[in-house]
Amino acid sequence: MYKPLLALSLVCLVGCLDSEEKTTEQKNQGLVYCAEANPVSFNPQVTTTGSTIDIIANQLYDRLLSIDPVSAEFQAELATDWKISPDGKSITFTLRKGVKFHTTKYFTPSRDFNADDVIFTFSRLFDVYNPYHFVGDANYPYFQSVGIDQLIRRIVRVSDYQVRFELYNAESSFLANLATDFAVVLSKEYAMQLKDRKQENLFDQYPVGTGPYVYREYRRDRLIRYYRNPDYWKHPVVLEQLVYDITPNGTTRVAKMLTKECDVTAHPSSAQLSILAERDDINVQKEQNLNIGYWAFNTERPPFDDIRVRQALASAIDVDKIMQAVYYGNGIKAQSLLPPASWAFEAQKAMPEFNPELAKTLLAEAGYKNGFDMNIWAMPVSRIYNPNARKMAELMQSDLRKIGVNVSIVEYEWNTFLQRVGEHRHDSVLLGWAADTPDPDNFMSPLLSCTATFSGKNPANWCNPEFDLLLTQALDTTDLEKRKQFYNQAQRIIVQELPILPIAHGMRFQASSSDVKGISLSPFGGISLANARKE
């Protein structure tokens, strides 16, 4: 039976498939997206890792509301409408009817999405009586860093399709936080089924959502497979299958674009963009993005607890050289923590400039005339805010050697790396942050607040009550001018204290085959493939 097959295969070894014209229907059987890392989890609540969010958040789940990338206004998703009380302390959401959760091998929903799911999802974040609160060590990095546990008093079920969030105080960024990729809605029915079976730990690994694709399988270091959600409420999904090919090496991802093994690739390195741009059958997209690549010091660990040492190290770095060698001119040199596209941005005059002589003087003042040994942890993956941390670390190594500081570069696998940085085992680390909402608070609270220190998000291990007070004040008012002032002061403190040195804002790149349509890059948040199709 397989003889003709074998003969066919031998013929095809010389590449007969390439000449075959494929119909649109055949093409839309599936899309392969080359991703740069394994997902940490399949629940966006429990992680802030951008590579993971790109893969899971917009594909498997929906949020109550989202932010339009162009007009920056809120858009209805699972909530069709929301009303804020005059004091701003209670918000009532009206929920969409007829939304179905995914039917998978491990779960079949018996009812539609309703208020119970919303209450379950959000109470997990702060309510110790929620049976899932302590699953996965009660670690909700994003929500903890913005202090959601001190914000929501309770969530009330008004009716099947209405819920009311009651807050301790009005906070201007609350709705924006609900619109982030982390605030997805999960199924209560599924959670309770797992609880009855005492398999709560599977909840974050085998996802059930309402999004455009349904989870099928995940094989570590190889692939993640989703199928189309036939019941998607928003619009019909064209692609039958969506497969993530996990390819950590950036050059391999570019090569796979050339051999057509990937249809879309995340974060092609800017060094290789020109190769891709030359090809007619590959499109390269380039988009402004709200992000920051920085160098964080472990401020609890000597000598980095001395502000003069941090200033000295900061002024020893030639950022212009980094902009050329690492960003290839496709980035903006940072003038503050916030990118210029943010409404609260103000260029900081006190930003350290390249001045090795000053650096030496400062080091001598701090008592390190002969320098010292330190390490720089370089993130092993390419992200928007830092396309090549290893190279950046090497450049900094040579800069720092000139002022007598010996640097060793440390690298780990990405998930291990983040975990160890969270435990503050580093001297200094090259990392970054890509915004989830246009709200400036999204840059500050998750990164540098005291609560972020405790949840392991604050890579500088830095807790400054004055800075935290400014953030709270900025959140307590809805007056844009006042908020702007508070954020200006906060930005100033960062540049003066230098818990982190802002380096650059990167551009977001994406390469896709020219027959792939419907993937748009947003200036914030993860990527969405809901509308992707091939033509």
Partner 1 sequence: MILDYILRRLALLMFMMLTLSIFTFSLSYLFPGDALTNLSGITNSTFSQTSVLEEKFHFTENYAVQYFAFLERIVQGDWGVSFASGESVFQHIVDLFPATLELSTYALIVSVVVGVPSGILAAAYYRRWPDKFINSGTLIGYSMPVFWLALLLIMVFSLQLGWFPMSGRMGLLYEIEPVTGFILIDIIAGDFPYHGMAFVDAIHHLTLPTIVLAMYPTTVLVRFTRDSMLKVLDQSYIKTARAKGLNRAQLIIHHALRNALLPVIKQIGLQFSTLITLAMITEVIFSWPGIGRWLIDSIYQRDYPAIQGGLLAVSMFVILATIVAELTYTLFDPLSRNQAHGKV
Q: Which positions touch partner 1 (CB under 8 A)?
A: 2, 5, 8-9, 12-15, 17-18, 29-30, 32, 216-217, 219-223, 225, 241, 243, 245, 247, 252, 255-256, 258-261, 412-413, 415-416
Using the minimum distance from each CB to partner 1, give the nearer residue, 5 or 70.
5
What is the number of residues in the chain?
Answer: 535
Using the minimum distance from each CB to partner 1, give the nearer residue, 138 or 258.
258
Using the minimum distance from each CB to partner 1, give the nearer residue, 220 or 235.
220
Instruction: Using DSSP, state whether 85 is helix, strand or coil.
Output: coil
Q: How far is the CB of 60 from partner 1 (least distance, A)?
A: 18
Q: How far is the CB of 6 from partner 1 (least distance, A)?
A: 9
Using the minimum distance from each CB to partner 1, give the nearer residue, 223 or 284.
223
Using the minimum distance from each CB to partner 1, give the nearer residue, 83 or 222.
222
Q: How far is the CB of 278 from partner 1 (least distance, A)?
A: 13
Q: How far apart are CA 443 and CA 383, in angstroms?
A: 16
Instruction: Choose among 128, 139, 101: nearest CA to 117.
Output: 101
Whole-Å CA distances, 329 to 342, 442, 506, 507: 21, 26, 10, 10
Q: How far apart are CA 400 and CA 38, in angstroms?
A: 33
Q: How far is the CB of 52 from partner 1 (least distance, A)?
A: 15
Q: How far apart are CA 488 and CA 348, in angstroms?
A: 9
CB 375 within 8 A of CB 426: yes
CA 26, chain centre distance (Å): 33
Q: How far is the CB of 521 from partner 1 (least distance, A)?
A: 23
Using the minimum distance from each CB to partner 1, give the nearer residue, 156 or 410.
410
In this structure, is the dihedral angle defined by the CA atoms of residues 337, 340, 344 and 350, taken in order, positive or negative? positive
Using the minimum distance from each CB to partner 1, give the nearer residue, 17 or 128.
17
Both tokens of residue 126? 């702060």
Both tokens of residue 325? 């060698």
Q: How far is the CB of 160 from partner 1 (least distance, A)?
A: 38
Q: How far apart are CA 489 and CA 478, in angstroms?
A: 17
Q: How far is the CB of 308 from partner 1 (least distance, A)?
A: 35
Q: How far is the CB of 7 from partner 1 (least distance, A)?
A: 11
Q: How far is the CB of 113 from partner 1 (least distance, A)?
A: 28
Using the minimum distance from each CB to partner 1, give the nearer residue, 9 or 478.
9
CB 414 within 8 A of CB 35: no
CA angle 72–77–78, rounded 5-degree value: 145
CB neighbour list of residue 211: distance below 8 Å, 6 or more residues apart: 58, 59, 60, 61, 62, 102, 229, 232, 530
Q: Directed axis angle between helix 480-497 and helix 465-476, to 10°?
A: 160
Q: How far is the CB of 225 from partner 1 (least distance, A)?
A: 6
Both tokens of residue 229? 């959600």
Q: How far is the CB of 238 from partner 1 (least distance, A)?
A: 15
CB neighbour list of residue 454: distance below 8 Å, 6 or more residues apart: 144
Q: How far apart are CA 226 and CA 532, in angstroms?
A: 13
| Residue appearing with tokens 């390249």 | 354
CB 47 within 8 A of CB 144: no
Using the minimum distance from each CB to partner 1, give the nearer residue, 253 or 360.
253
Residue type, 426: H
Using the minimum distance from each CB to partner 1, give the nearer residue, 37 or 65.
37
107 φ/ψ angles, rounded to the nearest 5 degrees: -155, 135
The DSSP output letter for 326 is T
Using the minimum distance from each CB to partner 1, give the nearer residue, 136 or 147.
136
Whole-Å CA distances, 113 to 190, 200, 210, 265, 313: 11, 20, 8, 33, 53
Taking the C-alpha atoms of 360, 366, 369 and 375 in order, what is their torsion angle to the nearest 10 degrees?
Answer: -80
Strand partners, 415: none
Using the minimum distance from each CB to partner 1, give the nearer residue, 413 or 535.
413
Q: How far is the CB of 403 from partner 1 (least distance, A)?
A: 31
Using the minimum distance from each CB to partner 1, give the nearer residue, 207 or 502.
207
Q: How far is the CB of 22 from partner 1 (least distance, A)?
A: 11
Q: How far is the CB of 140 from partner 1 (least distance, A)?
A: 18
Which helix (H) or strand (E) is 523 found in, with range? none
Using the minimum distance from each CB to partner 1, give the nearer residue, 66 or 415.
415
Q: How far apart are CA 238 and CA 128, in angstroms?
A: 41
